[in-house]
Structure 1
């Protein structure tokens, strides 16, 4: 009975995390379209505030151990690389893709990332992908084709810029997944993520003037901004980490594929985004790649 209860809790936590993440993309689109908020400014503050909250949480939980990653030169260099080319890059490209298209399309395109992970390891270990990996690649390409062309070879239904940044978001997501594996063997995922967010936000702030606040600020802007920081970053991450011990990383990762579906549904219901049959078919094909790759991956190979 206890095991069943823990499993149920884990499933609810993982699904909630995925839904919260999916909705946060729509919140960003709302701020871009209706409140004239700049994507770079939003990324900067999201990273800094969410990072500060995560680091504070780790400091409360583990004390001085939170700063262990700063004491080893090799780990610090890896953290800086991950902060810039992983955390900052994936956040910036994703939000900019939303700005140029919509939250649903940007989120679905980002979920092509696992296919780039498969490709990387195939090249690294000099082996051909297995049948299920080939199938996932085919579904990813077919899904992307339907999503960005609606089956018409001669034109894109989204801008070239949106497609470009969406693919960059997928590539940087793959890097985000692969690169910190060695760090995760030494330090907690919450610590690495918190520091990477904070560092990435501070680095971006050097090129911006984040203290200059533009756009339309009212009660709804503040509420949506707060959602992005809390329910789009801190809370779902903690939910996901809490779900893993209860249901395993493999199942938790699979359930997170609900994120683009949640983003698409919310975009249609809340923001009035037009999502055609071809869009839904493309989304289904891309999501199927996550299912295939998750079941084809041994649990011990799954990393947070």
Structure 2
């Protein structure tokens, strides 16, 4: 098989851009919470609705548009999509944003990456997988990384609020569910259809709690609206779209490996741009978690031959 180098370079650029947009999008969301007092519910509602509609629009003009409505024609598929939208997409987005609001983008993003560890435990408990030596290393890196990240190496105090930790761990659990539950749907329909509708479903559901039009227009300045546009367009829609498009020329293993740029981007922008304190042992903890992500990707790649 001839390697199409130009397409591969495009794929690498797409996945790296998407991962960085995801990471920076979390930090920009933190800016909206801290400087403008935007609520988690409103931001998640607005983000999901607009990004979901944009993704479905891309599907309509660039891919198989018939899938947009076909996904609703069978009761089983429709029910799966609704469950995925509420317990997967909405749960991931809300818990992640709540963790950012209570703590910061760096910690929230790193805690969300506990999802692979949770998936390992789930598969072992369901007896769908056996515990391997590499799993022990993955779990060890995750636990050591989290301890250092959250305590800065001290047993006597936490470096971040408890609420941020709770929401972050819940975000990891929601991402684990999101990853596992999406498989049957993604086998039948394009990713843009599944994720686009899941975002719309989650956004509509949360609209009953916090309608997107209920916001004081004086809360956001022109700069604030630019931040909001970045979170919706680049931090959500573009990030996911580029990630999916990269799979056309890269393997899923390569894509997941380069996806580790997301927590790195979140940490760097949180520390450099927002001036959040991040001390020595926390950097070591972040390195452990990012190392875990890289190890998972490279190990999978090796295993798959």
TM-score, with normalisation over the residues of structure 1? Answer: 0.95
Checking the alignment, whether the CA contact within 8 Å between 1:83 and 1:196 is kept in structure 2 is: yes
Say which of 235, 260, 264 aligns to 1:232: 235
Aligned counterparts of 2:128 and 2:16: Cα–Cα separation in 1:
36
1:209 Cα offset (Å): 3.1
- Uncovered stretches (5+) of structure 2, i.e. residues with no partner: none
Q: What whole-Å deviation, never above 9, does each CA across 1:109-151 have from its counterpart, x for those lacking one?
A: 1111111111111222254321111100010000000011111
Q: What whole-Å deviation, never above 9, does each CA across 1:234-258 have from its counterpart, x for those lacking one?
A: 1121211121121211101110011
Q: For this pair of structures, how many residues does the alignment match?
A: 301
The 5-angstrom pairing of residues 71-90 of structure 1 reads: 71-90=73-92
Say which of 228, 239, 244 aligns to 1:241: 244
Asked if residue 287 in structure 1 is aligned to residue 290 in structure 2, the reply is: yes
Checking the alignment, whether the CA contact within 8 Å between 1:51 and 1:198 is kept in structure 2 is: yes
Deviating above 4 A after TM superposition, structure 1's stretches of 4 or more consecutive aligned residues are: 298-301
Asked if residue 62 in structure 1 is aligned to residue 61 in structure 2, the reply is: no
Superposition RMSD in Å: 1.6
Aligned counterparts of 2:135 and 2:229: Cα–Cα separation in 1:
39
Greater shift, 280-289 or 90-99, is seen at 280-289
- Uncovered stretches (5+) of structure 1, i.e. residues with no partner: none
1:157 Cα offset (Å): 1.2
TM-score, with normalisation over the residues of structure 2? Answer: 0.95
Aligned counterparts of 2:110 and 2:90: Cα–Cα separation in 1:
19
Greater shift, 198-207 or 51-60, is seen at 51-60
Checking the alignment, whether the CA contact within 8 Å between 2:71 and 2:78 is kept in structure 1 is: yes
Q: Indicate the residue corresponding to 1:262 in structure 2.
A: 265
Q: Indicate the residue corresponding to 1:122 in structure 2.
A: 124
Checking the alignment, whether the CA contact within 8 Å between 2:53 and 2:200 is kept in structure 1 is: yes
Checking the alignment, whether the CA contact within 8 Å between 1:250 and 1:299 is kept in structure 2 is: no
Aligned counterparts of 1:190 and 1:299: Cα–Cα separation in 2:
29
1:26 Cα offset (Å): 0.7
Q: Indicate the residue corresponding to 1:191 in structure 2.
A: 193
Checking the alignment, whether the CA contact within 8 Å between 2:247 and 2:255 is kept in structure 1 is: yes
Checking the alignment, whether the CA contact within 8 Å between 1:133 and 1:292 is kept in structure 2 is: no
